[in-house]
Chains A and B, each alone.
Chain A
């Protein structure tokens, strides 16, 4: 049975679906158009599903509708209930499902190739389809097991510390080579054992690739797995000759790749060094070293309130610590009071401020911070020199001047905020003991114009609000 081309309207419908997905991403260029974009995405998906159901002889409609209802119900409830701080785990979990779905589809295509129209005249599966299928199941399996590990690490169900196996680079490269070799051999021999061995090895390599990567590098990993889930969909699109799947796969693949690149650049890490893993293992050791005692000033909520009331402009630098302390609402309240008193307040967001790309923006948006008061690193960094107050809350490494000056520092070269140029710096921190992810000391603590506000972030913001309203 040769692959017969479907009617023109069907191909057109999948093309429209693909174009709608492009428009969905295009809408995200601004918050104002983003909701319409999301609706384009939903419409594209509906078109793809309905077209598929209408053009295939469906022997099991009740089962299919049941599967959609069960899955859709679980997805819907999860999406409604999830806390915004848990978004990285949710995305990782969703990636694992795409990966597993790709594995199951590829397996079904292998078991019942006639249904997919990929059987050649000789009664065997077309060799090209075998490669696509092999790549599809391999990428799908890597996405699945990798995302499961990423999920466990992000959700704190597994230690974020890197797990380093001896000879891991040899094992990983060997396994990858074996997978590719077997997929190649699969084109001449379509024995089931080859297919299932590829699947098993791919599950294994996904697991091996992610366990050595430390918690601080998780934003890159989540983006990378996002990319993989796209490539898996694209590979299956090749098998099915389906335009919607191919366009989507390419979009998602590029999206994840670009986000990984942005995250790596924001940490000044090379993609290879992130993938090789191990970051954070040595830092934990150096963080334990005895540090020289340097003088620093402690401030109070009243000091901070007084100084910020006098200020013309305040720039707030939030980090993930703020979200951990659930301080975003109290912080926004503080900013609101200041704005009412005529102070200009802006928020400065570092690309790695949260646990995934853009995470901090979502957390601030949830606390009703208007998005036009929130600025990216490169847009606001020059303004610190004119700012009266830099208010750092729950951030550390992203304001560390050592990244600019100290070539021996593990974070050297990472782009950081020039908070040291602000006239006054308030640094909200639980205690003087803790250090950032990278485990390095921060000169900002000891500057003349810095006052340390040592307290729980939420409590401190609430106290400042009280003092401001006096």
Chain B
């Protein structure tokens, strides 16, 4: 992919993000932050590439540490979001 293609995806995604986030109900803004935290750990993709590659041992270890850090966020972020969302109940009856 050339730079312009990537930039186009990025700009479009910013617009999607703008409209999707404004439609989030204010009552769920804390879960929103927790889940955005979890998904921003998709940076683990880069960490995996670094951790999987041979060549530079330093780069590999940096990658592995990044994998561990991102995993804290992924598991922690999704789990805490699920825990919060399960608390939101409608009125009985």
Contact = CB atoms under 8 A, between A and B. Distances in A.
Interface of A: 5, 11, 17-18, 21-22, 24-26, 28-32, 34-35, 37-38, 41-42, 44-45, 48-49, 52-53, 56-61, 63-64, 67-76, 78-80, 82, 84, 87, 90-91, 94-95, 97-98, 100-102, 104-105, 107-109, 111-112, 114-116, 128, 222-223, 226, 229-230, 232-234, 236-256, 258-259, 262, 349, 351, 354, 356-359, 361-362, 365-366, 368, 370-374, 376
Given A63-B51, A105-B66, A370-B92, A44 B39 contact: yes
A372 B91 CA distance: 7
A70 B67 CA distance: 10
Contact of A238 (B6, B30, B71): B6
Provide the main secondary structure of the chain B interface: helix
Contacts of A98: 37, 40-41, 43, 69-70, 73
Given A105-B63, A250-B10, A79 B52 contact: no
A64 B46 CA distance: 13
A72 B75 contact: yes
A245 B86 CA distance: 28
Tell me what chain A mostly uses at the interface: helix, strand, loop, or mixed: helix
A233 B48 contact: no
Interface of B: 1, 3, 6, 9-10, 13-14, 16-18, 20-56, 58-60, 62-92
A45 B68 contact: no
Contacts of A259: 21, 29, 32-33
B59 A112 contact: yes
Contact of B37 (A95, A102, A249): A95
Given A97-B69, A101-B47, A251-B20, A30 B64 contact: no
A115 B41 contact: no
13 contacts: A35-B85, A45-B42, A45-B74, A53-B52, A79-B76, A94-B77, A100-B69, A101-B69, A112-B59, A115-B49, A229-B37, A250-B16, A357-B33
A61 B75 CA distance: 19
Given A98-B41, A259-B32, 13 more contacts: A21-B42, A28-B28, A28-B32, A31-B90, A41-B81, A45-B38, A60-B64, A63-B51, A64-B64, A82-B80, A97-B73, A101-B43, A242-B45
Contact of A34 (B31, B50, B62): B31
A376 B22 CA distance: 15
B6 A246 contact: yes
Contacts of A49: 44-45, 48
A13 to B, nearest CB: 11
Given A97-B70, A223-B33, A365-B87, A250 B45 contact: no
Among B9, B30, B38, residue most surrounded by chain A Cβ atoms (within 10 Å): B30
B79 A80 contact: yes
Contacts of A365: 84, 87-89
A253 B88 contact: no
Contact of A252 (B36, B60, B68, B70): B36
Nearest to A229: B40
B46 A245 contact: yes
Contacts of A101: 41, 43-44, 47, 66, 69-70, 73
B9 to A, nearest CB: 5
The 10 closest A-B pairs by CB, nearest first: A71-B71, A75-B76, A358-B29, A254-B17, A115-B53, A250-B13, A108-B50, A357-B29, A112-B59, A79-B79
A370 B47 contact: no
A29 B27 CA distance: 9
A372 to B, nearest CB: 5
Contact of B35 (A38, A102, A230, A254): A38
Contacts of B21: 25, 251, 254-255, 258-259
Contacts of B9: 243, 246-247
Nearest to A231: B40
B50 to A, nearest CB: 4
B30 A28 contact: no
A34 B85 contact: yes
Contacts of B56: 108, 111-112, 115
Contacts of B85: 31, 34-35, 38
A45 B45 CA distance: 9
A243 B60 CA distance: 23
